[in-house]
């Protein structure tokens, strides 16, 4: 359940902190006041695509934060554990910060996460039904999604199982297709692979060899400079001829301290450290002397290195920029060569594997089809009941589940919503028969039917009541109120009937400040709630106030 939403520097909202409770939460206000912006804020928090244009003018960053109560959210807990999100109690806090350049930083319970993680969490936390979603109703490609969303957990598990089987079958089919290549093409590829394997094997490259040879060549080409540097450093440490080196000077310093020890034994650690430094310098000097001796290369070694590098460079030009990639190419080529040389026997194995996986897929698809047909009947019955109560008793809704041309990622079914405008009239695709107003009602009826089966705790309805009024508005208000008994409902509405049934009512308004026009959010109760209902009703204020009070009494009677 959404408990709190904090918005800062979003569009015209300088800062707003909204608290929500269980039941029906309503947001009202004049058109253009910024009600839908709050839904956009929630969408962004749940992984929606960011847009720097949403940043309030003059602000350097946009901040969004929401707290959710997940006392019964097992799905959220499992995902949080998978994503490494710390869950100490029954609360998850999501936060997103966006800057003017469009970059985002996302957090879950204080730890950084990705936008993708927010999106995954959002699928368990909130279901947003937008005011423009009826356009999706016109696309048959979306109808399967709606039908599957109506399914119970058993149907969802069937769908997951099918998708896993489909992936395995698709991979098996691709392997079989690669094995069923043209014979002439197979022989050409075998010849090429044999040449490549032979060329690399004859060169016998070693892991990291090219890098070591390049380093050795550079050392040989700069032998004089390296020898001079190492020898000079050595002599500065140990001394040259009768001259003092660094070790001699350190020894002198140690002797001075040793003589002073009887006067103050606190000098002992310093003397000890000087002895340690002398020892380290002596070891370092010996290493430098040994290094200088290694620079005495055998005659002809530079020519050997140059010749070997030319061989390896030719391989690198063909197969990879270094010996690591060359050896990886060799391993891949050997495996592919073995596969092609044994293709006949492999082909039979792959055919059997593809057949076995195909049979399992078809069985799962048949089960999924049967489940969808059952869901189609139930969803149509539920949606038609909602249409009747929304004063569209003449229109009938039907879900047709047909056979697709081939199996796809989501099964072997084509799903399409159809409607009949009246008794005895044929069912046709929604896009060909429904008007704009009818589309809104059908989408609303469908959403009301889906809401009862929705496993998500919080449902957001963003002005889905557009074009509805009169007695139908009363029915819709009671429906949302009933849904809010088993879901937290958040509704942006222009209907006073819905606002009157709210458990929590907030009003959005624009006002002028010295900094410009801003959007403010106010929590309403008592007389302020009545005032807002009067504004929404319009007309004569005295009459509207009586009507508003009557609506609130009706809601109280329903509750009792």
Q: What is the pLDDT of residues 80-104, one digit of tens each?
A: 888 888 887 888 999 999 988 878 8
Give the residues across from 88 on adjacent strands: none
Domain boundary among 321, 348, 364: 321
Question: CA 40 to CA 54: how far, in whole Å?
Answer: 9
How many beta carbons lie within 10 A of that of residue 275, not counting itself?
14
User: Is residue 7 domain-shared with residue 113, that is, in the same domain?
Assistant: yes
The predicted pLDDT at position 146 comes to 84
Statement to judge: residues 118 and 218 lie in one domain = no
Burial of 361 (0-12, 13-18, 19+ CB in 10 A): buried
pLDDT tens figures, 113-124: 999 999 888 888
8-state DSSP, 426: P
pLDDT at 374: 96
Count of C-beta atoms within a 10 Å radius of residue 72: 11
Pick the last residue of a domain from 295, 321, 347.
321
Asked if 108 and 230 sit in the same domain, the reply is: no
Q: Is residue 294 part of a domain?
A: yes
Please give the residue that has the higher pLDDT: either 355 or 422. 355
**Is residue 4, in this structure, part of any structural domain at all?**
yes
Query: Residue 154's pLDDT band (boundaries 50, 70, 90)?
Result: very high
Residue 250 lies inside a defined structural domain of this protein:
yes
| pLDDT computed for residue 354 by the predictor | 92
Residue 158 lies in a domain: no
Strand order in the sheet with 111-113: 13-19, 2-10, 61-69, 91-99, 104-108, 111-113
Which has the minimum average pLDDT: 36-50, 107-121, 126-140, 439-453?
Answer: 126-140
Task: Let me know whether 120 and 224 are in one domain.
Answer: no
Domain that residue 263 falls in: 209-321
Phi-psi region of 123 (alpha: psi -120 to 50; beta: other; left: phi over 0): alpha
- 122 shares its domain with 232: no
Report how far residue 238's alpha carbon sits from residue 245's, in angstroms, rounded to the nearest whole number.
Answer: 5
Place 134 in a pLDDT band, splitting at 50, 70 and 90: low
What DSSP line would sit under 24-69, residue for residue?
Answer: EEEEEESTTSSHHHHHHHHHHHTTPPP-GGGBPTT-SEEEEEEEEE
Distance between CA atoms of 136 and 133, rounded to whole angstroms? Answer: 5
pLDDT score of 433: 67
DSSP three-state, residue 207? coil
Helix axes 541-559, 470-483, angle to 10 degrees: 40
The pLDDT, as a whole number, for residue 469 is: 76
> Does an H or E element contain 407, and which?
strand 396-408
Average pLDDT value for residue range 494-512: 88
344 Cβ contact list (under 8 Å, min separation 6): none
First to last CA, the chain: 24
- Long-range pairs of 59-63 with CB within 8 A, sequence gap ≥ 24: 59/9, 60/99, 60/100, 61/9, 61/97, 61/98, 61/99, 61/100, 62/8, 62/9, 62/10, 62/97, 62/98, 62/99, 63/6, 63/7, 63/8, 63/9, 63/95, 63/96, 63/97
In whole angstroms, give the CA distance from residue 75 to residue 95. Answer: 20
DSSP 95-162: EEEEETTS-EEEEETTEEE-HHHHHHHHHHHEEEE-TTGGGGGG-HHHHHHHHHHHS-HHHHHHHHHH
115 with 220, same domain: the answer is no
In a domain, 150, yes or no: no
Of 44-48, 175-179, 250-254, the range with the lowest mean pLDDT is: 175-179
- Domain end marker among 289, 321, 353: 321
Specify if 283 maps to a domain. Answer: yes
pLDDT of residue 135: 61
The predicted pLDDT at position 449 comes to 81
Nearest to 26 by CA among 437, 484, 443: 484
Same domain, 26 and 122: yes
10 and 125 within one domain: yes
CB-count burial class (<10 Å; 0-12, 13-18, 19+) for 89: exposed
Q: Residue 45 in contact with residue 105, Cβ under 8 Å?
A: no
Q: How far apart are CA 440 and CA 436, in angstroms?
A: 6
Q: Is residue 138 part of a domain?
A: no
| 3-class state of residue 517 by DSSP | strand
Q: Could you tell me if 1 and 125 lie in one domain?
A: yes
CATH number for 117: 3.40.50.300
What distance in Å separates the CA atoms of residue 73 and residue 78, rounded to the nearest whole number? 9
What pTM, to 2 d.p., does this model score? Answer: 0.58
Does residue 436 register a pLDDT over 70? no
Spatial strand order in the sheet of 428-429: 396-408, 411-420, 428-429
Structural domain count, the chain = 2
Specify whether 3 is located in the same domain as 125: yes
Identify whether residues 10 and 126 lie together within a single domain: yes
Give the pLDDT of residue 361: 95
140: in domain: no
Q: Are 16 and 520 in contact (CB under 8 A)?
A: yes
The answer on pLDDT for 350 being more than 70 is yes
Split at pLDDT 50, 70, 90, the class of 333 is very high
């Amino acid at each position: 359940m959404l408990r709190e939403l904090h918005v800062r520097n979003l569009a015209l909202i300088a800062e707003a902190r909204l608290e929500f409770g269980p039941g029906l939460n309503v947001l009202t206000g004049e058109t253009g006041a910024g009600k839908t912006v709050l839904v956009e804020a929630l969408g962004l928090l749940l992984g929606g695509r960011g847009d720097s244009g949403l940043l309030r003018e003059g602000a350097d960053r946009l901040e969004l934060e929401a707290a959710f109560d997940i006392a019964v959210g097992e799905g959220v807990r499992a995902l949080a554990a998978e994503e490494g999100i710390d869950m100490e109690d029954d609360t998850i806090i999501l936060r997103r910060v966006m800057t003017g350049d469009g970059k985002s930083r996302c957090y879950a319970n204080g730890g950084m996460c990705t936008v993708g993680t927010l999106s995954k969490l959002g699928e368990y936390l909130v279901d947003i039904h937008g005011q423009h979603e009826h356009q999706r109703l016109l696309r048959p490609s979306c109808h399967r999604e709606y039908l599957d969303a109506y399914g119970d957990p058993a149907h969802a598990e069937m769908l997951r199982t099918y998708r896993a089987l489909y992936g395995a079958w698709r991979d098996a089919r691709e392997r079989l297709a690669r094995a069923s290549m043209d014979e002439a093409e197979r022989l050409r590829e075998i010849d090429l692979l044999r040449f490549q394997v032979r060329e690399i094997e004859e060169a016998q490259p070693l892991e990291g060899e090219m890098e070591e040879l390049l380093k050795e060549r550079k050392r040989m080409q700069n032998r004089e400079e390296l020898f001079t540097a190492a020898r000079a450093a050595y002599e500065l440490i140990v001394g040259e001829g009768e001259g003092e080196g660094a070790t001699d000077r350190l020894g002198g310093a140690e002797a001075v301290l040793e003589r002073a020890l009887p006067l103050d034994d606190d000098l002992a650690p310093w003397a000890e450290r000087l002895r340690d430094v002398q020892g380290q310098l002596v070891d370092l000097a010996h290493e430098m002397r040994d290094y200088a001796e290694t620079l005495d290369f055998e005659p002809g070694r530079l020519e050997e290195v140059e010749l070997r590098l030319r061989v390896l460079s030719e391989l690198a030009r063909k197969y990879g920029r270094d010996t690591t990639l060359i050896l990886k190419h060799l391993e891949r080529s050997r495996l592919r060569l073995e596969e092609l040389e044994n293709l006949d026997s492999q082909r039979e194995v792959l055919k059997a594997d593809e057949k076995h996986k195909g049979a399992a897929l078809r069985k799962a698809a048949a089960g999924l089809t049967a489940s969808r047909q059952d869901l189609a009947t139930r969803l149509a019955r539920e949606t038609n009941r909602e249409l009747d109560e929304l004063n569209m008793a003449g229109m009938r809704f039907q879900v047709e589940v047909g056979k697709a041309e081939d199996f796809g990622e989501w099964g072997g079914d084509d799903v399409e919503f159809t409607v009949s405008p009246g008794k005895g009239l044929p069912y046709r695709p929604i896009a060909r028969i429904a008007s704009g107003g009818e589309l809104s009602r059908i989408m609303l009826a469908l959403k009301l039917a889906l809401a009862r089966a929705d496993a998500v705790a919080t449902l957001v309805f963003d002005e889905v009541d557009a074009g509805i009024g009169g007695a139908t508005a009363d029915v819709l208000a009671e429906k949302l109120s009933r849904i809010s008994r088993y879901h937290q409902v958040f509704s942006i509405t222009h209907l006073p009937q819905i606002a009157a049934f709210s458990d929590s009512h907030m009003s959005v308004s624009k006002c002028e400040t010295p900094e410009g026009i801003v959007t403010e959010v106010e929590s309403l109760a008592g007389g302020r709630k009545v005032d807002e209902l009067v504004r929404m009703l319009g007309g004569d204020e005295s009459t509207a106030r009586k009507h508003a009070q009557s609506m609130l009494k009706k809601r109280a009677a329903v509750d009792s």
